[in-house]
Chain A
C-alpha cells in the first residue's frame, strides 16, 4: 500500500468527519448525507489500508456516522412534532403578515407562567433596619464602596414611615369627600391628576389603598369608558371583592 493512497483516503475520511460535524453543529438536515454510501466507502477504504493510523481514523468516522444516524432519528421525531411543516413556508407567511395577526396566532399557543415576585414596604424597611444593625467588619475595607453616615440617613429617609403614609391617605380621603359633597360622583382621572406625572402616580397609588380598604367605591361604565369614585365616611365591608386593573401611561403597541 503506497503512502499516497493512504493520504488520499485519510483526506476523504477527514472530509466525512467534517461534514458530520457541520450537520450536527449547524442543525442542518441530516438526510442530505447518504449513510449507506458512506459506510460502503468506509468498508472499501478499511480493506485497502490495514494500518493502525487508519483504524483509528476509521473508528472516529464510524462514531460520527453513528451520531449522524442518531440525529436523523431526532430530526424525524422533531419534524413529526412540527407537523412536517416547511420552514420556508412559515417564513414566507411571517414576512407577509402584519404584527398584530402574528401576535394573535401566537396567543393561541402561549400559556405564560404565573409567578409572584414582590417586596412589600414592610419587608424593605426590615431589610434596611437589618442592614444598618450589622456590626462593621473589623478593620473595614480598603477598597470599593463604603457606607457613610450620609448613606445611612438617605436610606432611612427614602423609606417613608407608616405614619407619613397614613397622614397622606387621610388627607386624600378628606379631599375626595369634599369633592363628592360639591359635585357628586368624582371622575377617577381628574381626581388622580397631580401637578406632574410623579404626583399623579402617587395619588393613584394612595387611592388604591382607600379603595381596597373600603373607604371608596368604584363604578365603571365600559360603554362611556368612565371610572367614577364614590367615597364613604366609614369603612365598608367588602362582600365580593373584585380586582380592577387601570393602566397609566402604558404602551399600546
Chain B
C-alpha cells in the first residue's frame, strides 16, 4: 500500500471517529486519535479539517487540562452560523432555542453561575412556568447546563464546545427588536 493510500485510509478513520458517536458524549480525546492514527495524528486532523471546511464544517479542539493535545477533546462543529430556517429544519423549535439563549446569557453575564430561581424568573417573562422549567430541564439533559446540589445552574460541557461566550454577550448587547433588525437588513441590501 502506498503512502498516499495509507494517509487517505487514516483520513477515513479520523472522519469516522469524529463523526460517529462512540461514547455517551460526542467527540474524541486526543489520545484516542493518537492510538488509532499514530503520533502524527494532528497532521491527519488538519487535513480532515481542510476537507470539512469545504462543506461548512470544522474540527474544534477543546483543551481540558492545560494545553495538552492528548488530553484535549476533538469535535466536528458547524463552521458558519445557522439561519432561522435551518434551525427549524434541524428539528429545533424557536421557543426552545430562545429559552436556551436566555439561560446561557444569564449564566455567562454572571460569571458562569446563577441560581435556578433567577433564571426561571427571566424565562417566565416569555413562557408559562411549566414550559420554562421544561426548557431548563431539556438544556440540562442535553449538556448545555449543569445543575448543582443547591439549585445553582452552571455552564455545561456542550456550551463550552458550541457557544462563543464573548460573541454571545456582544450580540445580546447589540439586540434589536425583530422589525428594526429587518429594516436594517433591508436598508443594507438596498
Contacts and interface: CB of A to CB of B under 8 A. Distances in A.
Are chains A and B native binding partners rather than an unrelated pairing? yes
B178 A101 contact: yes
Contacts of A101: 175-178, 181
Contacts of B90: 112
Contacts of A75: 111
Q: Which of B60, B150, B175 has the most CB of A within 10 A?
A: B175
Nearest to B75: A113
B38 to A, nearest CB: 24
Contacts of B162: 110-113
Contacts of A250: 88-89, 91
Nearest to B96: A253
A85 B57 CA distance: 31
Interface stretch (B3-11, B43-51, B64-72, B102-110): B102-110
A90 B152 contact: no
Contacts of B172: 90, 93-94, 102, 105
Interface stretch (A42-50, A114-122, A211-219): A114-122
Given A81-B166, A99-B94, A107-B83, A115 B178 contact: no
Interface string A39-83: 000000000000000000000000000000000000100110111
B78 to A, nearest CB: 5
Interface residues on B, range: 35 or more
A238 interface: no
B105 A94 contact: yes
A88 to B, nearest CB: 9
B12 interface: no
B94 A247 contact: no
Contacts, number: 171
A113 B76 contact: yes
A166 to B, nearest CB: 28
Contacts of B186: none
B88 A112 contact: no
A105 B171 contact: yes
Interface string A80-100: 011101110111011101111
A94 B82 contact: no
A87 B161 CA distance: 22
Contact of A27 (B101, B110, B170, B173): B110
B77 interface: yes
B125 interface: yes
B94 A103 contact: yes
A104 interface: yes
Given A85-B169, A102-B102, A251-B88, A109 B164 contact: yes
Contact of B152 (A25, A85, A102, A103): A25
A116 B20 contact: yes
A168 B169 CA distance: 53
Contact of A251 (B75, B93, B104, B181): B93
- State the 4 A-B residue pairs at the shortest beta-carbon distance, nearest first: A253-B94, A27-B113, A106-B101, A109-B168
Interface of A: 25-27, 75, 78-79, 81-83, 85-87, 89-91, 93-95, 97-117, 245, 247, 250-253
Given A109-B164, A111-B162, 15 more contacts: A82-B169, A91-B106, A91-B109, A93-B173, A106-B100, A107-B83, A108-B171, A110-B81, A111-B77, A111-B78, A111-B79, A114-B57, A116-B20, A250-B89, A253-B88
17 contacts: A25-B150, A26-B115, A79-B111, A82-B165, A91-B106, A91-B109, A102-B98, A103-B98, A104-B178, A109-B163, A110-B82, A113-B27, A113-B158, A113-B161, A114-B76, A247-B88, A251-B88
